[in-house]
Structure 1
């Protein structure tokens, strides 16, 4: 990958999109992970206004510290950065306490994890509305179009997605080029939605390098029966996730009414 040229291409795309939309810039949630760090730095490179939001909900301390380190670095390097810390923990707890216990603990845990992402999405759009900003997505290609590892109408609820055509490994390359903090480059990826230290790999069962490989194999027309051992297992994980989360990656289905039933 021609990292410098790819970076400049994304920055120019962001500028063009924001200009056509007639907005002041971008608002983005900062998690302490590589995707939000790279995306926010790309937005900073545009010279347009960038509002970085920390939105902790029972967050692990190392995630909070990495987010704060990144925002501090952005403010040192760029003059168009502002930030706010909106602690959503009490809002999340209040909502949690209102809900009846109607399902297994695993299903409740997953549903509440997705609720965290949706509370953050609502917060981002609040600030986008009052400051005339676009909500900038942080999803990469393997998450958004491979295994669907994001929350529908949560972190998937955005106005534009500047890194969604980059594999996770390519996001890291852009991050190195943009001089993202070393602590973020070295941290194991996590969605931070469960209030503990579980990583993305813990949840998915495969690393991003493995998933990227599987995505490429499927794109080449390979089938699961052509592999064995760990390779077969990774392909199975990829296909299962892709199938289960396909509804996130396609347009919302609309029931079309036949003309003869209307006229």
Structure 2
């Protein structure tokens, strides 16, 4: 696979917009609901949805969110609403819900597992909120995952941000999402921000969690698809390839259909 150039961004943009509109019309729904995080993926996805002319509901769902994330999300939403009359927004602060949940479940003695479970709980509370809003407004939940996250390293929460009705940008590498974001003129603050899922309530980035940058993981994903092995590389490349293979294997359960026990007796 070769990267799509910025010159082709217009074609990619229109292809996705037409796909979104046709899917929504065939499903007989009013439009789309998208969770806005302040990151490039949700900014690009919501802008693509807005171009369909159908109803678009942008939702902020802070849970002890960093102020910088909130500001970027609000900046994008205000920009989008000024550009498209079919865009509306709502903020649903889930902090109190999250804190109530924490008080209602047992506290694990394994702090690492405890914190990871709570991080995933944040994503699942947001998914529940999006589907509630989708239900009362007749909308589809639009996913914001890119190709590396969704099909490479499985960097998303099962039944959290992975729980969606359709995935507009899941065939785009992260670098391509940035190219499309530049074409769509999403806020510069979002284009320059370090990618982060914001699920731990601190300043850790996606690269901190993954151990490699998206550019490195894209390289590893393409190398793996071409049949390369870790033994084909040295130094940092070998390390990155091994990181990719480890995550791809560990998160395979997210990327494959739920196993069904078939009764053949």
**Count of residue pairs brought into register by the alignment:** 259
Structure 2 counterpart of 1:156, from 158, 162, 178: 162
Instruction: Give the SS at the match of 2:219.
Output: helix
1:213 alignment counterpart: 219
| TM-score, length of structure 1 as denominator length | 0.98
Unpaired stretches in structure 2, ≥5 consecutive residues: none
Following the alignment from structure 1 to structure 2, what is the Cα–Cα distance between the partners of residues 9 and 253? 33
TM-superposed CA distance for 1:97, in Å, is: 1.1
Q: Name the CA distance, whole Å, in 1 between partners of 2:182 and 2:120.
A: 30
2:51 paired residue among 30, 45, 50: 45
Deviation at residue 225 of structure 1 after TM alignment: 0.5
Q: Does 1:85 align with 2:91?
A: yes
TM-superposition CA deviations, 1:130-189 (whole Å, max 9, x none): 000000000000000000000000000000000000000000000000000000000000
Residue 203 of structure 1 and its aligned partner are, at CA, apart by 0.3
Q: Which residue of 1 aligns with 2:22?
A: 16
Residue of structure 1 aligned with 2:137, choices 131, 141, 153: 131
State the secondary structure of the residue aligned to 2:108.
coil
Q: Provide the C-alpha distance between the structure 1 equivalents of 2:248 and 2:227, rounded to a whole number of angstroms.
A: 15
Deviation at 1:31, TM superposition (A): 0.1
| Whole-angstrom CA distance in 2 between matches of 1:102 and 1:37 | 35
Q: Secondary structure at the match of 2:56?
A: strand
- Measured after TM superposition, the shift of residue 103 of structure 1 is 3.6
Say which SS state the counterpart of residue 51 (structure 1) adopts.
strand
Match of 1:255 in 2: 261
- Listed as ranges, the gaps of 5+ residues in structure 1 are none
Distance 1:212 1:250 in 2: 20
**Paired residue for 2:248, among 242, 251, 255?**
242
Q: 1:159-198 maps to which residues of 2 (within 5 A)? A: 159-198=165-204
**Distance in 1, Cα, partners of 2:183 & 2:153:** 27
The SS at the match of 2:177 is helix
1:101 CA displacement: 1.8
**1:202 pairs with 188, 200, 208, which one?**
208
Which stretches of structure 1, 4 residues or more, deviate above 2 A after TM superposition?
Answer: none
Write the distance in 2 (CA, Å) between the matches of 1:101 and 1:119: 18
**Which of 54, 60, 64 is equivalent to 2:66?**
60
- Tell me the residue number matched to 1:97: 103
Q: Deviations over 1:50-99 (max 9, x none)?
A: 00000000000000000000000001100001000000000000001111
Q: 1:102 Cα deviation (Å)?
A: 2.7
